[in-house]
Amino acid sequence: MTVLLFLLGVLFVVLGVGLSIGLHEIGHLVPAKKFGVKVTQYMVGFGPTLWSRTRGETEYGIKAIPLGGYIRMIGMFPPRPGDKPGTLRVSSTGRFSQLADEARQLSLEEVKPGDEDRVFYKLPVHKKVIVMLGGPMMNFVIAVVLLTGILTTYGVATAQAGARVASVSECVVPASEAATKTTCAADDPKTPAFTAGILPGDEIVSVAGQPITTTADVGKLIRPRVGQQVDVVVRRDGVEKTLTATPIRNSVQQVGPDGTPLVDADGRPIVQETGFLGVSSGAIIGYERQSVTAVPGFVGEQLLATAGVVLKIPQKMVGVAQAAFGSGERDPNGPVSVVGVGRMAGDATAGKIPWIGGENGMDPFVFLLSLMASLNLALFVFNLIPLLPLDGGHVAGALWEGTKRGFARLRNRPDPGHVDVAKALPVAYAVSSVLIVMSVLLIYADLVKPISLGG
């Protein structure tokens, strides 16, 4: 059953990624056709074609490698002086498809009679921008719709009054041995919590008749009651149970306000003699629905966080390489490949991530939706980078064309003509090569050293 659930999570991501790519390309396709540009292909994926069908002048299809997509528009680049009349260079909105096109020496496509004015490069600047921004904007809309649904129907995680048992120690271990001793010997004394029958997942309602409102209340009420019988009321499966425990004196490591264990200058635990129960507790998490008015602020926060990750990709890729080929750990806030996203989804549906599912965890389906929202935000931000072969590179070329024409008009000079973005093809080759290397490295790292969400 666990394997089946894992595969269902992976399948959800595969379908979600495919849908996101397909809608991204529709974001390019619809305005391109609306503005009269001839679109010869609409493809989801790369590599060998699995299925295709021609409707009108456009071939629609699905390819074998679901790592992107593209539409093919004639006349992406203006002709150079000396080009054969009636021919135009072609390219596409897909990153890897562009690399293939340019590797074949910018293969030429004959423009049929009547298509001379249906080329992309002849569009006005604002229409070029609309066509090229259509894809990223579609990803942004997908993310906003998903996040709006999550916020308004499910809510955001909010700490509730009370405390929940995260773990129960079976035996009493001195603080000096806590970091190294992982199993209990037969003659090790049992902890009061273990003896009393307290279980992980129990909600602590009260200790010694005092209600528990925060996790800190548990320690405050236990520490001074060494050797005293204490009633601990827990709620388990919706039913309250009164358990009796007798805290013992033990050396425990002190923790800071944020729950971090404290150590001295030499790295040794800072301990104190105090009452000891043998449980660690955490906050009770509830999910509170938000109004639609909260959506813009939340989306803005997620967008800024995503942009921060994208801007730091070169720096973070160093950490990815160190983790993949060394002993380092993956940064949970670092970049992942589609393989990594699929693995997270599978772990979530299979119950392998402690804070997903169960009484105190996020609903697995909501987690999957949030993954899709994050992925689409990342696609939105990444495609806005003003470098070919990304959509932002074509937008930058169109804006530069408009700027040059504007200056020419102000100075009463002749129209400088269309900007030849093909001159930036060396940059496109370099960027495409870097993207391929990054993708391979991320996929490898996600296979051998995946990001752990078990914290």
What is the pLDDT, as a whole number, of residue 96? 44
| Domain positions in the chain | 2-135+388-427, 158-287
Helix (H, G, I), strand (E, B) or coil at 449: coil
Among the options 25, 102, 203, 401, which is catalytic?
Answer: 25
| Closest to 92 in 3D by CA, of 106, 81, 111, 79 | 106
pLDDT tens digits for range 265-298: 676 766 666 778 888 887 777 788 889 999 999 9
What is the pLDDT, as a whole number, of residue 53? 94
176 has pLDDT over 60? no
For the CA atoms of 62, 64, 65, 71, the dihedral, rounded to the nearest 10 degrees, stands at -30
Give the span between the Cα atoms of 338 and 334, in whole angstroms: 13
Q: Phi, psi at residue 382, to the nearest 5°?
A: -65, -40
What pTM was estimated for this model as a whole?
0.78
Q: Phi, psi at residue 334, to the nearest 5°?
A: -90, 180
What is the pLDDT, as a whole number, of residue 180? 52
CATH level 3 topology of 158-287: Pdz3 Domain (2.30.42)
**What's the sign of the alpha-carbon dihedral 195, 198, 204, 205?**
negative
Q: Could you tell me which residue, 178 or 171, shows the higher pLDDT?
A: 171
CB 157 within 8 A of CB 298: no
Query: What pairs with residue 352 in β-bridges?
Result: none
What is the pLDDT, as a whole number, of residue 216? 81
DSSP string, 378-417: HHHHHHTSSSTTSHHHHHHHHHHHHHHHHHHHHTT-----
Least confident of 206-210, 260-264, 336-340: 260-264
76 has pLDDT over 90? no
Distance of CA 244 to the CA centre of its chain: 45
What is the pLDDT, as a whole number, of residue 107? 36
What is the pLDDT, as a whole number, of residue 253? 63
End-to-end CA distance of the chain: 24
What is the pLDDT, as a whole number, of residue 143? 96
Query: What pairs with residue 272 in β-bridges?
Result: 252
What is the pLDDT, as a whole number, of residue 93? 59
Give the span between the Cα atoms of 451 and 447, in whole angstroms: 10
Which amino acid belongs to residue 247?
Answer: P
What is the pLDDT, as a whole number, of residue 100? 38
Helix (H) or strand (E) holding 220: helix 215-222
Residues 326-339, mean pLDDT to the nearest whole number: 83
Q: Say how many C-beta atoms besides its own lie within 10 A of residue 134's C-beta.
A: 22
What is the pLDDT, as a whole number, of residue 103? 32
Average pLDDT of every residue of the chain:
82
pLDDT tens digits for range 361-381: 788 899 999 999 999 999 999
Give the span between the Cα atoms of 368 and 357, in whole angstroms: 12
| Closest to 396 in 3D by CA, of 411, 383, 413 | 383
Q: Phi, psi at residue 88, to the nearest 5°?
A: -140, 145
- Chain position carrying tokens 């909501």: 366
Active site residue 329: no
